[in-house]
Structure 1
Amino acid sequence: MIRLRNGTVGLRFTILYAGVFLVSGIGLLSLTFLLAGEGRHSVPVDRQPTPLGGPDELHQHVRHLQEQLAEVNAQHSRQLLAGSLLALTVMAVVSVLAGRALARRVLRPLRTITAATRRITADDLHRRLSVSGPADEVKDLADTVDDLLGRLEASFAAQRRFVANASHELRTPLATMRASLDVAVAKPGVARQTLVLGDRLRTQLDLVDRLLDGLLVLARAQHGALTGAADVDLARLAARAVADRTGGIAAKRLNVTEDLRAGMVTPGDAALLSRMVENVVDNAVTHNEDDGFIRLETFREDTGVRLVVETGGRVLDQRDVDRIAQPFERLGEERTGSENGSGLGLSIVAAIAAAHGGRLELLARPRGGLRVSIALPSVPVPAEVGA
């Protein structure tokens, strides 16, 4: 079966080449057969000396020669027809094989460009196709894609720099506003309404501060700016994150189950990985139901390690779950912000996991709640440890 990957251009080329080859072959064989037929009709009968005998014997002899000639012509026509059909069949097979080979050869540079383009993601826009060869249409296409990747890389870098710079620059006026607010409410004789208003403003300032902090972390993770590589144990990070949130867990009367196996070590930025695990645990506590549960598990798989955090709650739509890893997206909310979060928690988790060569997986549990799974590459285990 002739099937070229991901499309019908190769198949159309094959059919086109085979069709042209077959039409040419049929025309050539038809012309040969036609000329051979004309030659047979124009073959003269050799004149022989008049045999001894009367006119009847002469006519009988001529008729016999004509019958022999007709039989020879018919046999020759059958042989020529059979040979032509056999040649046409062979040409049909050869034309299809030749068409397929030619189509593959013509489309080979395009397949190379397609495969290279698919390997390029938003995290490695610095890569280029760099197709070599003559200055033809394929080279022009590859150069155009490289130019597009260059423009995308510059645009993404500018966007990340803007977010990081804007978040950093806004910290100074926020700190000034917080200091001014603290000075104003600390003065003697301040009215009670002013104190209440100060508390509300301070809460909003804290929310904006957390939002800016989240944007800075997100920009840093998306930009791939890892400060250093260290061996980080996911189990220890998860246990510490749970211990730091005992107050919130107790307030909702959550049942926490831990299966945190030691030795689940991954290389990376310790601060970012700690923030990633804290965001997952925060999400599990904040968006849980009263008297609910949290299950945490770490384990090794293939060449990586995985952290899984499951929570209970209402039944969720997987289509809604798929989008909550995007910045400022939340379940069941038209607006992304809330009193308790900035809408960046899981998007930061996804960005940090991707920056470390891992991935975030979100799954709506059939019985309700959410399953958050993070897969990361692992540090090779020494032989004496694995024994």
Structure 2
Amino acid sequence: MTAAALRRLAAVPALPHRTLRLRLTMLYGALFLISGVAVLTITYVLVRHNSGHLVVVKLDQLPGAGDQPAPPLPDLDAMRSQAGDQRSRMLSQLLTQSGVALAIMSVLSIGLGWLMAGRALRPLRTMTASARRISHHNLHERLAMEGPRDEMKDLGDTIDELLGRLEEAFASQRRFVANASHELRTPLAMMRTSVDVATGKPEPVPPQVAALGDKVREGLDQAERLLESFLMLARAQHGTVDERDRVALAPLVAAALDSLGDGIAERGIRVEQDVGDAAIDGNRTLLARLVDNLMDNAIRHNEPGGWVRIRATQREESTELVVENGGAHLTPGDVRALAEPFRRLGGHRVRSADGQGLGLSIVAAVAAAHGGDLHLEARADGGMRASVTVPLVVLAVAVGIR
């Protein structure tokens, strides 16, 4: 196909979207048209049948005409011909006028059908808009349909019941994660104490026991970090933020860089920052963890001798924090999966060397707890861009992995 043909094909307007309202309108119009044609056909047949008789009356049978001379009789054939012509003209005029009336009423019926379909589907549009607004972050909201007890209200009430069951399921899952994380801390503490006692005796400890103790401590450290991440994730997913303060970004970024200083120095990463006086309204602990996880993600997936750029901008109704770094090329599919729990680059399971796979999940949960969301995007020249947007005071954090 030539380029000109492709341009002509692209210029052809697309067919309108076949919505339910459009289908109902066409159905109403088709039903009216069929009913109108049927009525006009019956009327035409009846008129044609009843107008086909010619009545001839003899003059000598009229009252008082017996003593008078009879006038000459008219030509019956001419009368029949004249009556037939008049009947044909009447039937033709009936068809023409009925067709015009049917066409006008068909157009009016389509317009009225469009209005009536829109009115009938108005509750459905309201339910659709409300259902689109409700997500796992605001499952407490309901459609709360008003009006008579009809099919639309039954559908709205059924959706509200479904949302209630979903809300309870999400709440049960979060309570389980939080309670299980709390309960597991006690046995982990007992295990750590037992290892410390076994390896801290006065008599010499065999090298194998000491190595085993170090290995157990390493596993306990990893388990405690995982439990701490679970607790933070459960808290963030609870959906509410208490203790909102005006939190400056500069101290959070400085603290995150300080905690990651060994990794930055070991890999020779160059850090550039311009945070200024940018600040966010929110929970200090949750926002600190959000910044820590984003910075840790940027350093962890960087390349030796790479770079990290941090920039914050305070706007009238938003704050933007951008963190970019060098790294490997990513596909859009890899980036979309990173916000899911236990999803990491290069695999679907957790590996201790690269973290628990909960970092960006916690970032997404913290953003959601502040009424925002997390957006991940692969950079064209390699790396990743993660942006967190919070309403009113917007926190937009972009993390790059190139």
Instruction: State the TM-score, normalizing by the size of structure 2.
Output: 0.85
Cα deviation code 1:7-54 (max 9, x no counterpart): 6433332232222211111111112222222232124356679655xx
Q: How do 1:267-282 residues align onto structure 2 when only pairs under 5 Å count?
A: 267-282=281-296
Correspondence for 2:302: 288
Q: 1:29 aligns with which of 40, 65, 69?
A: 40
- For residues 240 and 95 of structure 2, the distance between their equivalents in structure 1, rounded to whole angstroms, comes to 76
Cα deviation code 1:88-135 (max 9, x no counterpart): 101211221222222222222222222222211111111122222333
- For residues 286 and 192 of structure 2, the distance between their equivalents in structure 1, rounded to whole angstroms, comes to 27
Amino acid paired to 1:261: G
Q: Shift in Å at residue 161 of structure 1?
A: 0.7
Secondary structure of the residue aligned to 1:339 is helix
Correspondence for 2:4: none
Q: 1:212 aligns with which of 207, 210, 227?
A: 227
Correspondence for 2:376: 362
Amino acid paired to 1:260: V
CA RMSD of aligned residues (A): 2.5
Q: Shift in Å at residue 302 of structure 1?
A: 6.8
1:373 equivalenced with 2:384 (yes/no): no
Correspondence for 2:66: none
Would you say the 8 A contact 1:310–1:372 is kept in 2? no
Amino acid paired to 1:271: T
Q: How do 1:37-186 residues align onto structure 2 when only pairs under 5 Å count?
A: 37-44=48-55, 51=71, 58-59=74-75, 62-186=76-200
Would you say the 8 A contact 1:235–1:260 is kept in 2? yes
Would you say the 8 A contact 1:4–1:11 is kept in 2? no
Q: Shift in Å at residue 139 of structure 1?
A: 2.2
Secondary structure of the residue aligned to 1:294 is strand
Amino acid paired to 2:390: L
1:241 equivalenced with 2:256 (yes/no): yes
Q: Shift in Å at residue 66 of structure 1?
A: 3.9
Correspondence for 1:15: 26
Would you say the 8 A contact 1:305–1:377 is kept in 2? no
Would you say the 8 A contact 2:342–2:348 is kept in 1? no
Structure 2 CA distance for partners of 1:18 and 1:303, relative to 1, 3 Å: same
Correspondence for 2:361: 347
Secondary structure of the residue aligned to 1:377 is coil
- For residues 107 and 128 of structure 2, the distance between their equivalents in structure 1, rounded to whole angstroms, comes to 30
Secondary structure of the residue aligned to 1:332 is coil
Instruction: State the TM-score, normalizing by the size of structure 1.
Output: 0.88
Q: Shift in Å at residue 168 of structure 1?
A: 0.9
Cα deviation code 1:198-225 (max 9, x no counterpart): 1111111111110000000000000024
Q: Shift in Å at residue 268 of structure 1?
A: 0.9
- For residues 212 and 369 of structure 1, the distance between their equivalents in structure 2, rounded to whole angstroms, comes to 29
Correspondence for 2:271: 256
Unmatched 5+ residue regions in structure 1? 381-387
